[in-house]
Amino acid sequence: MSRVTAYVKTKVRRRVLARVGANGIDLSTLDRVPDSLAWPLQRHGVDPVARIGEVREQEPVHKLTSFLGMNVWMVTGDAEAREVLADTTSYSNDIRPFVGKRGSTTDGDIGGLGFTDPPHHTALRKLLTPEFTMRRLDRLRPRISAIVERQLDVMEAGGPVPDLVQTFAFPVPFLVICELLGLPDEDRETFRQLGSARFDVTHGGQGTFGAVSESRTFLMEATRKQRTNPGDGLIGQIIREHGDEINDFDLGGLADGAFTGGLETSASMLALGTAVLLQHRELWKSLAEDPDSVEPIVEELLRHLAVVQVAFPRIAQEDVRVGRHLVKKGSIMLVHLPAASRDPRTTLGEAFCPAKESSNHLAFGHGLHRCVGAELGRMELRTAFPALARRFPDMQLAVDPGDLEYHAKSIVYGIEALPVRLHGIVDR
């Protein structure tokens, strides 16, 4: 080993050990995520990079890298992904031991459904699930339609070439989440600013966990305000029905989970979905003329785009065999949802084909931690796409698809801007 190599390895080792204190690893202090861990977040347009497909074909369970002394595995196969996501015995979702003081169960700011295990997860989800039944969600349907129509007016008023991300794709789910949670108007601008940063891993754990901390703190304060005067939304409803059975920390975490699952994900689906549909004019025409055609289109967009790139990390609690590999206790399992949703062994593969049945996808996850707000997300998309196509049947992309700029390193994939020509002449 050369002196230079030895020196570099020593420096790297010291940096790693500096981040591992007496209480263990603190991911929230990392200022960057190494490329060996982040490359699966890359895409070519809306498609996962070719390397993902190659890994899936060769090893649907693949050792991705070693990071801070832990082995990190990536699961890209559909069957293997479902096996891991459904197994609550061999794996834990509790990431709090790995984020230092922020993981404290008394005064920390990291938690919620995605980062907890039974029985605590079971108790929390039992409180939240009734708020997402179709009966209760139906109360939101008129408000969703009104929000969509209002944002269509905003788009039209913005001129012939608005940015669909800023005028429609982000505001619609943002306003729906505010209605769902029951946030007063005066809190909404602060809330809006907390949206996207939590999913961007460009600046490592410092950026992601810092953004999570800010939104959770904001929602815990919103919860405290509603203790004495419960609002009409989810926060107030749970307070009225359960009172002191749930504390502000846990209720703020549930509200933050709804925020996490319902804002950036739906915004990305609306923007990316529109970009895809505008390149399939027959589907855009169908949405404008036959709103009933929307369901299979939405399901295929969910499968094909799978904007949540990796499920919540699973930490192996024991040695477990997955596929032909023995995964050691303490290893991290990352399930790559876009790769699994395009696994040609069990799905439609890389093709985009709304005419085929594609509802059995992993866009909302699988098993105990499957997204509790899946039906709300579907409701938003099924309302928004036909309304958009009816109002602007001749809408076109205002730039070449190859010139669109996408999120570089984000757990929720999306697009930075989507300039559209509202009343262009269709010449494709």
The per-residue pLDDT for range 248-268, each reduced to its tens digit, is: 888 888 888 888 778 889 999
Question: Residue 107 has what pLDDT?
Answer: 56
Cα 64 from Cα 334, distance rounded (Å) = 9
pLDDT at 360 over 80: yes
Question: Residue 304 has what pLDDT?
Answer: 95
Q: Cα–Cα distances in Å, from 129 out to 220, 230, 370? A: 20, 19, 12
What mean pLDDT comes out for the span 210-224? 72
Of 379, 398, 412, the C-alpha closest to 305 is: 412
What mean pLDDT comes out for the span 355-375? 89
pLDDT at 7 over 50: no
pLDDT at 98 over 80: no
Cα 361 from Cα 230, distance rounded (Å) = 37
Name the phi and psi angles at 4, rounded to 5: -65, -45
Of 123, 203, 134, the C-alpha closest to 379 is: 134
What mean pLDDT comes out for the span 91-118? 70
Are the CB atoms for 370 and 377 separated by under 8 Å? no
What mean pLDDT comes out for the span 163-188? 89
Query: How many C-alpha atoms does 268 have within 13 Å on its Cβ side?
Result: 27
Give the range among 56-65, 354-363, 371-380, 388-397 with minimum mean pLDDT: 354-363
Question: Residue 229 has what pLDDT?
Answer: 87
Of 363, 397, 357, 394, the C-alpha closest to 378 is: 363
User: Which tens digit of pLDDT belongs to each residue from 317-345?
Assistant: 999 999 999 999 999 999 999 999 999 99
pLDDT at 296 over 80: yes
What mean pLDDT comes out for the span 263-288? 96
Q: Which long-range contacts (CB under 8 A, 24 or more apart) does 207-212 make?
A: 208/411, 209/27, 209/28, 209/99, 209/102, 209/110, 210/28, 212/109, 212/110, 212/256
pLDDT at 9 over 90: no
pLDDT at 224 over 80: yes
Question: Residue 260 has what pLDDT?
Answer: 76
Question: Residue 99 has what pLDDT?
Answer: 62
Q: Which residues pair with 412 in a beta bridge?
A: 308
Q: Cα–Cα distances in Å, from 14 out to 4, 32, 33, 68, 359? A: 15, 16, 17, 11, 48
Question: Residue 16 has what pLDDT?
Answer: 43
Are the CB atoms for 179 and 233 separated by under 8 Å? yes
Q: Which long-range contacts (CB under 8 A, 24 or more apart) does 55-59 make?
A: 55/339, 56/339, 56/343, 59/323
Are the CB atoms for 142 and 150 separated by under 8 Å? no
Are the CB atoms for 238 and 246 separated by under 8 Å? yes
What mean pLDDT comes out for the span 163-174? 95
Average pLDDT of the chain, as a whole number = 85
pLDDT at 103 over 70: no
Q: At what angle do helices 248-262 and 374-391 cross, to 10 degrees?
A: 40
Cα 175 from Cα 19, distance rounded (Å) = 39
Q: Which residues pair with 406 in a beta bridge?
A: 415
Question: Residue 56 has what pLDDT?
Answer: 97
Query: Looking up tokens 């961007």, which residue turns up?
Result: 200
Percent of the chain with pLDDT over 70: 82
